């Protein structure tokens, strides 16, 4: 796929928007066109994106974080697979929530209010 390809430019813009929404991406292989993995923790959710090839083997899922042990994919709330643009565009529609405070952060907040 050439650098000037409009689909590639759109996918790069979508990746930039996802980074602004809190996703962190990394290459799974050393090549420039190696698979790309992204993840974000937002409130009670863990969001995961995998881009293998531009038009194939792309998927994402949203899983509820929980201390319960649930077999299989019982906590998976949303899934999408297909073309990279389809997957990235769908993930952008998933709402973000402010992260839940950790126990230490909660204790600090409580000390500051008294």
* pTM score of the predicted model: 0.74
Q: How confident is the model at residue 99 (pLDDT cuts 50, 70, 90)?
A: low
| Contacts within 8 Å (CB) and 24+ apart, 78-84 | 82/58, 83/54, 83/55, 83/56, 83/58, 84/11, 84/51, 84/53, 84/54, 84/55, 84/58
Q: How confident is the model at residue 81 (pLDDT cuts 50, 70, 90)?
A: very high
Rounded Cα distance between 71 and 47, Å, is 18
- Give per-residue pLDDT as tens, 10-58: 989 999 999 999 999 999 888 877 889 999 998 788 999 999 877 778 9
Indicate the SS3 state at residue 60. strand
């Amino acid at each position: 796929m050439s650098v000037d390809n409009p689909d590639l430019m759109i996918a790069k813009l979508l990746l930039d928007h996802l980074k602004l929404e809190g996703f962190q991406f990394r290459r799974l292989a050393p090549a420039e066109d190696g698979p790309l993995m992204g993840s974000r923790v937002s409130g009670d959710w863990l969001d995961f994106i995998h881009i293998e090839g531009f038009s194939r083997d792309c998927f994402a899922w949203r899983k509820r974080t929980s201390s319960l042990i649930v077999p299989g994919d019982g906590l998976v709330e949303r899934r999408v697979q297909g073309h990279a643009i389809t997957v990235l565009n769908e993930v952008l529609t998933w709402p973000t929530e402010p992260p839940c405070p950790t126990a230490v952060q909660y204790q600090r907040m409580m000390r500051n209010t008294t």
